[in-house]
Amino acid sequence: MQLLAIFHQLYDRHGPQHWWPAETPFEVMVGAMLTQNTAWRNVEIAIANLKAVGRLELESILAMPIEALAQAIRPAGYFNVKAKRLQHLCQFLQQHPELDQLDSDQLRRQLLSIHGIGPETADDILLYAFNRPVFVIDAYTRRLFSRLGLVEADIGYESMREEFERVLDADPRLFNEYHALIVIHAKEICRPRPMCGACPLVQMCSYAVTT
């Protein structure tokens, strides 16, 4: 199975990634919201700011004046918008304490109903906070797999997610590690200007042989 072979190649090249870098499921959710349209290092600063003022908890974030919350997460960019979205998420979580009882499809629909949560953020939360077998698709996944010739570059989010979930075993540990490996590979090797000479996938890559 090609997707599994690619996983093993990436794992052999990069090793275990130990995702998601967070201490609690709630921190995963906050990070998933903050990482929209910004680099992870900026999210780390914003989360460190929240921790420094003792606010990285649902009730604490809800109790924060929106301006103070925005200032704390300022390094993550779009901080006014993200502060509102974070409080929406916290309100939702407070009003729905039974979320972890839902099946994955129901939980996904609930998450997507929250203002500011799109498919990628919902799937980050499903996989890394709720440990559900949902494959996360992002720009790195699209770039890598379209270069490999396995999907069209403009494939829709849901089509690509469903294809991964159809082919691979529904194992959250596999999906966790696979997504993390895709990210590191796209950041370090299959970059916008790819380093094909250092890539373990070069023999199977249609992009590499045509450039």
The span of 13-21, 53-61, 87-95, 203-211 binding ligand SF4 (CB under 6 A) equals 203-211
Q: Which is nearer to ligand SF4, 97 or 197 (CB)?
A: 197
Check residue 32 for interaction with ligand SF4 (CB under 6 A): no
8 Å CB contact between 34 and 79: no
Check residue 199 for interaction with ligand SF4 (CB under 6 A): yes
Check residue 93 for interaction with ligand SF4 (CB under 6 A): no
> Is the omega angle on the peptide bond into residue 19 within 30 degrees of 0, that is, cis?
no
Name the 3-class secondary structure at 99.
helix
Return the residue of 108, 142, 147, 179 that touches ligand SF4, per CB under 6 A: 147
Return the residue of 34, 69, 160, 189 that touches ligand SF4, per CB under 6 A: 189
8 Å CB contact between 110 and 96: yes
Query: Any alpha helices (H) in the chain, and if so which ranges?
Result: 2-14, 25-34, 40-52, 58-63, 66-72, 79-95, 104-112, 119-128, 139-147, 157-167, 172-188, 206-209
- Smallest separation, CB 12 to ligand SF4 (Å): 14
Check residue 151 for interaction with ligand SF4 (CB under 6 A): no
Q: Which is nearer to ligand SF4, 72 or 189 (CB)?
A: 189
Taking each helix axis from N to C terminus, what angle separates 172-188 and 2-14, rounded to the nearest 10 degrees? 60
- Smallest separation, CB 190 to ligand SF4 (Å): 3
Q: Please give the C-alpha separations between residue 21 and each of 27, 79, 142, 162, 186, in angstroms, as whole numbers.
A: 9, 21, 22, 26, 18
Check residue 205 for interaction with ligand SF4 (CB under 6 A): yes
Check residue 10 for interaction with ligand SF4 (CB under 6 A): no
8 Å CB contact between 25 and 57: no
- Smallest separation, CB 149 to ligand SF4 (Å): 9
- Smallest separation, CB 40 to ligand SF4 (Å): 21
8 Å CB contact between 153 and 116: no
Q: Which is nearer to ligand SF4, 17 or 141 (CB)?
A: 141
- Smallest separation, CB 6 to ligand SF4 (Å): 9
First CA to last CA distance, the chain: 26
- Smallest separation, CB 135 to ligand SF4 (Å): 18
Give the residues lining the site for ligand SF4 (CB under 6 A): 144, 147-148, 189-190, 194-196, 199, 201-202, 205, 207-208
